[in-house]
Chain A
């Protein structure tokens, strides 16, 4: 097989491919042989038809078959040997159904195709990211513990006879009615509330002020327009509130006893655990930010000319997906808040970004030999299965069945690449002096 490559611009090539005589003959011969066992010609037993008759009667069929068998593999092989990665928009000339194949003659054709362009990766050290270490001040830990403490507060009724004042803690029952009917899940008994903390609707809190123990009141309140339950949003409601007692709030002392309630051995251990958690949280956040920085800079610093065809393809596909989704949900684009006119333009940028990212990452993985082995994949799957309380084996086969395994592998690989890049990137000079 002979291949000639002609570059047509940065991301498009013309391949001239010639399949050698030997290969053509061999393929034709093989097809005739295969055909012999299949066809039945009157006067001959199956499989006994001489080649001359097959050639005279089934030439067209055999030739078409031979072209089908020869051309695509030759094209693919040409791409591999020339180290080209096709992106689509393939145009083979002459078209396969018009191609002529003859015994003892080479088969020549041309293929024009969009390929992945060459690009130069920036030096890793050129990337600048914030590399400041995770730093959690004592005050943050203290604040966290205080919140914990407040959550575990207890309330005891007070034996005093006075009216409720602002800032009091009270024990109440309430029931909520909308349009004269009780709403589902709309009652609570013996609820301890501290007024002024925004736990209840402001109208109810102000309604409570001035009540006496064992008194019952009707309080009218409006639900917020943005209430999480759309059936209640903006509705006018009546609350039946009964006050049991004014209570006193007791914060549990921050000691080993408190720690034991939370299943830690002693207070120091609790404190350390919280600190650790907060540091881990911050580290994760920093890592996330570093990833974003690295990606952003990589995309900015790498010049790639992305062929229009694949951007178009991506945009079309996404638009189709959106339309399908809408049809499934029986919504018009307006209802879903999607502007069908603007969507392609928005998607275009996205597509370019995504393509750039995936190419850059592929190329880094290739250069730095960053790979995810089957073992690593296995371990990760087991870890996730454990987190989700599922059987690792079942989870793996589920992924495989949905063709998600490779997707999963890519995610892991990208994570490895991010870590590699973050390690190699230089630290941005921090503006905050700590």
Chain B
């Protein structure tokens, strides 16, 4: 199995994700190629969540086009994948606490 740190890259801390935490949902930035099964395994290992994960939703986020609208000056931000892990009620993920 791949290194779990290669799959789950970092917690996603935004206004929206902070609100989601109230309904036991935690958002992460994950590897674009990772599937839900891989993410579940990696999360179980990293945060000791065996049997506590209810479901995982993933979505691909397309990077924004950046730069001026000139012929050769156009770039993009990288595409990435977001995973929202829903855990059983009352479970916390340490990494989010106190950040």
Cβ-based interface call for A48 (8 A)? yes
B98, A44: Cβ atoms closer than 8 Å: no
A403, chain B: closest CB distance, angstroms? 51
- Give 1 or 0 for each of B78-99: 1 = CB within 8 Å of chain A CB: 0000000000000000000011
Cβ-based interface call for A56 (8 A)? yes
Cβ-based interface call for A95 (8 A)? no
B99, A56: Cβ atoms closer than 8 Å: yes
Question: How many of A's residues come within 8 Å of B, CB to CB?
Answer: 10
Closest 9 CB pairs of A and B: A43-B14, A56-B98, A44-B15, A56-B99, A48-B15, A43-B13, A50-B18, A53-B99, A45-B15
- A residues 37-52 in Cβ contact with B at 8 Å: 43-45, 48, 50, 52
Q: A57 to B13, alpha carbons, bound, how many Å?
A: 13
Q: A43 to B98, alpha carbons, bound, how many Å?
A: 16
- A residues in contact with B15, CB < 8 Å: 43-45, 48
- B residues in contact with A52, CB < 8 Å: 98-99
Question: Using a Cβ cutoff of 8 Å, how many contacts connect chains A and B?
Answer: 20
- A residues in contact with B17, CB < 8 Å: 43
Q: A12 to B55, alpha carbons, bound, how many Å?
A: 70
Query: Closest A-chain residue to B96, C-beta based?
Result: A52
B84, chain A: closest CB distance, angstroms? 15
Given contacts A43-B13, A43-B14, A50-B18, 6 further A-B contacts (CB under 8 A): A43-B17, A45-B15, A48-B15, A52-B99, A53-B13, A53-B18
Q: A52 to B15, alpha carbons, bound, how many Å?
A: 12
A156, chain B: closest CB distance, angstroms? 106
Offer 7 A-B interface pairs, CB within 8 angstroms, sorted by A.
Answer: A43-B12, A43-B17, A44-B14, A45-B15, A50-B18, A52-B98, A56-B99
- A residues in contact with B18, CB < 8 Å: 44, 50, 53
- Give 1 or 0 for each of B28-69: 1 = CB within 8 Å of chain A CB: 000000000000000000000000000000000000000000
Query: Closest B-chain residue to A55, C-beta based?
Result: B98
B37, chain A: closest CB distance, angstroms? 28
Q: A57 to B99, alpha carbons, bound, how many Å?
A: 7
- A residues in contact with B14, CB < 8 Å: 43-44
Q: A48 to B17, alpha carbons, bound, how many Å?
A: 13
B2, chain A: closest CB distance, angstroms? 27
Q: A43 to B18, alpha carbons, bound, how many Å?
A: 10
- B residues 3-22 in Cβ contact with A at 8 Å: 12-15, 17-18
A116, chain B: closest CB distance, angstroms? 49
Q: A44 to B17, alpha carbons, bound, how many Å?
A: 10
Query: Closest A-chain residue to B99, C-beta based?
Result: A56
Q: A57 to B98, alpha carbons, bound, how many Å?
A: 9
- B residues in contact with A50, CB < 8 Å: 18
Query: Closest B-chain residue to A43, C-beta based?
Result: B14
Q: A55 to B99, alpha carbons, bound, how many Å?
A: 8
Query: Closest A-chain residue to B97, C-beta based?
Result: A52
Q: A412 to B14, alpha carbons, bound, how many Å?
A: 66
- A residues in contact with B12, CB < 8 Å: 43
- B residues in contact with A53, CB < 8 Å: 13, 18, 99
Q: A53 to B14, alpha carbons, bound, how many Å?
A: 11
Query: Closest A-chain residue to B19, C-beta based?
Result: A50
A179, chain B: closest CB distance, angstroms? 86
Q: A48 to B99, alpha carbons, bound, how many Å?
A: 15
- B residues in contact with A57, CB < 8 Å: 99
- Give 1 or 0 for each of A36-80: 1 = CB within 8 Å of chain B CB: 000000011100101011011100000000000000000000000
Q: A352 to B98, alpha carbons, bound, how many Å?
A: 59
- B residues in contact with A48, CB < 8 Å: 15
- A residues in contact with B13, CB < 8 Å: 43, 53
B82, chain A: closest CB distance, angstroms? 12
- B residues in contact with A55, CB < 8 Å: 98
- A residues 8-58 in Cβ contact with B at 8 Å: 43-45, 48, 50, 52-53, 55-57
B70, chain A: closest CB distance, angstroms? 28
Query: Closest B-chain residue to A57, C-beta based?
Result: B99
B44, chain A: closest CB distance, angstroms? 25
Query: Closest A-chain residue to B17, C-beta based?
Result: A43
- B residues in contact with A43, CB < 8 Å: 12-15, 17
Q: A53 to B18, alpha carbons, bound, how many Å?
A: 10
Query: Closest A-chain residue to B12, C-beta based?
Result: A43
Query: Closest B-chain residue to A44, C-beta based?
Result: B15
- B residues in contact with A56, CB < 8 Å: 98-99
Q: A57 to B17, alpha carbons, bound, how many Å?
A: 18
Q: A52 to B14, alpha carbons, bound, how many Å?
A: 13
B58, chain A: closest CB distance, angstroms? 19
Q: A52 to B99, alpha carbons, bound, how many Å?
A: 7
- Give 1 or 0 for each of A285-325: 1 = CB within 8 Å of chain B CB: 00000000000000000000000000000000000000000
B99, chain A: closest CB distance, angstroms? 5
A39, chain B: closest CB distance, angstroms? 14
